[in-house]
A and B are shown apart, each in its own frame.
Chain A
Amino acid sequence: MNGHLKRRPVLIPGQRPWLGFLLLAAVLVAVPFVAALGGQAWVRIANFSILYIFLALGLNIVVGYAGLLDLGYVAFYAVGAYTYALLASPHFGIHLPFWVILPLGAGLACIFGVLLGAPTLKLRGDYLAIVTLGFGEIVRIFMNNLNAPINVTNGAQGITLIDPIRIGDFSFAQTSTFLGVSFSGPQKYYFLLVALALLVIVVNMRLQDSRIGRAWQAIREDEVAAKACGINTRNIKLLAFAMGASFGGIAGGVFSAMQGFVSPESFSLMESITILAMVVLGGMGHIPGVILGAVLLTGLPEALRYGIEPLQRGLFGRMIIDPESLRMLIFGLALVLVMRFRPAGLWPSSQRRRELAESAD
């Protein structure tokens, strides 16, 4: 009797879940070393895929769970990045440690999220989209121009020589050796990023089935009905915005430290759109799907960058089509084709797939 009331993990008979986890862990550990065989550039690409997983899962809270279309997500990422850049670089001569700045950046981004959300959350779907888009552009334009009369952001040149993440004397930017294994800077960041990504995945999973998560889903499906059920829709929506924004802020801080350089160029609307595309392409509201989307959309352009030039040379003996534009062309076509043949995303949750199948009948 009481056995039925307790919540048990759902196991598929005949499968050993720990084996899967072990395999996944082994792959995660192996990635930076395998990637390093092709040069440190590939480790950096791996790092960026994880950073984008982080961002995409943050946006997933807003778009996937709460169903609020946010086209200015990159603004929060920018706030986090600039917070880190200004407080840990020679620009102002301030060098605070990362464990002070990252929470500060997350907090600031959260405040920005509430500032944007509070007046606009009564807007319906597409109106909200355009307002968030405008907000993202406003933030970017300010970062581009706040170098006069007081030089705050150093304008379009951006801020350079940003401190790497450092714990005591242990810097994430240098190569060091543990237990006879040499770790390069990017490889060390890789493990930091994996830890952060695991954190955000756990948060996402816990949120999904929590009271708040179910409230978000209720709002997404039918806001009026959710309100009638006693959900304080305004506060719950604000919470989604604030949480998504905080994740963006943390990701921005890590980005800043990892790159050592930020400029407004990194925070264009195209960036917001790419992150949104990761969420939708992978499968909105479904964590493994979003992760897949982030990895694919970071990896595909890079793979194309390295693949197109040799391919053209091999086929035609010279460059016929400008590789950069061909790369973007393929990227755009991939978005169109995936959406055409898998409208719910590459890896949608089983529930969503069922809903779609029902509505098609």
Chain B
Amino acid sequence: MTAIDPTAHLTAAQIEELGRELDAIRDEVIASRGEKDAAYIRKVIKAQRTLELASRGVLLFSFFPPAWIVGTAGLSVAKIMDNMEIGHNVLHGQWDWMRDPKIHSTTWDWDHVSPADQWKHSHNELHHTYTNVLGKDNDLGYGIMRVDEDQPWHPVHLGQPLWNFVNACFFEYGIAAYDLELGKNLSKDRRKNPQFRARARAVGRKIRKQVLKDYVIHPLLSGPSFLSTLAATFTANVVRNIWSHSVIMCGHFPKGVKVFERQSIEGETRGQWYLRQMMGSANISGSKAMHFMTGNLSHQIEHHLFPDLPSNRYAEVAVKVRALFEKYELDYVTGPLPKQVLSAWGKVFRLSLPNKKTEVTTPEREPELLAA
């Protein structure tokens, strides 16, 4: 935690100049998008489908322990690929420019209980627009946790490390509930709202299909391996859930990431919006394989600056973005996965308790900052 506003040294003109430089980085990628990128996403999709088919094939013989291990590992990786590098990014419209109706944000659906259109609304429209704005961006604590010292403490927050762990294990259901804004919509007067009911039914249908596939049909197809295949698909889902939960926690929770007041985004300029994304996101450092398995959300800062650029280009964009952080003397929050996960969990634990006396004021946040 820094005691000084990390962007205080920038003038309004500098912030707009920063915005123009970021626009130029974006334009460069868009101008050079082409055949290689298209080949990349098709290769990834093909690999994912092949891996999933092969893993489910192996799981037909899951009573044999080595087959269980190989099949479960393969299926976990396939589900992670489906959700992260493929699903999340396709649903962002990162590949819409290819004009391929099979790989398009309006036609895609993913191996996940939240229907694509509901997730697109809460994620693309709300979270990406209001990134880290308290009361606007529900990704902050998913509406069930206290994530900032300024949020009033309540005894219920004592349990938030537990909620967070349960949420991690069943993350896809957490997301579906969150996309439905279940907390808000279950109140008496909202429960009967026909729009909410229609959306809830859509989630119900999606859950039914997913559960039937993973916990009934594939186990049945395995015959004598029914129970072991059931255990395998359950394990793969939990592995995928914990993995994506961890990656996503690293995006906005670790130490050094700033949150913003509701008023601070009124009349926000393009440059200020960019700056908020830069200060409100954190990266994960690591190998190419790690970046791939996070769906390139390890380049969270770059993803938040340019949510619709193809994910395979974030690595090259990161070099240029990082140079801008240095040029404008801003803090680029990044670290290896274990460190960032621990940092995020540390916050969940710390804020489950009331603020210590010395932390009553939170100088890391300057509400007026971006409205200036």
Is the A/B pair a real complex?
A: no
Chain B residues packing against A (C-beta within 8 Å): none
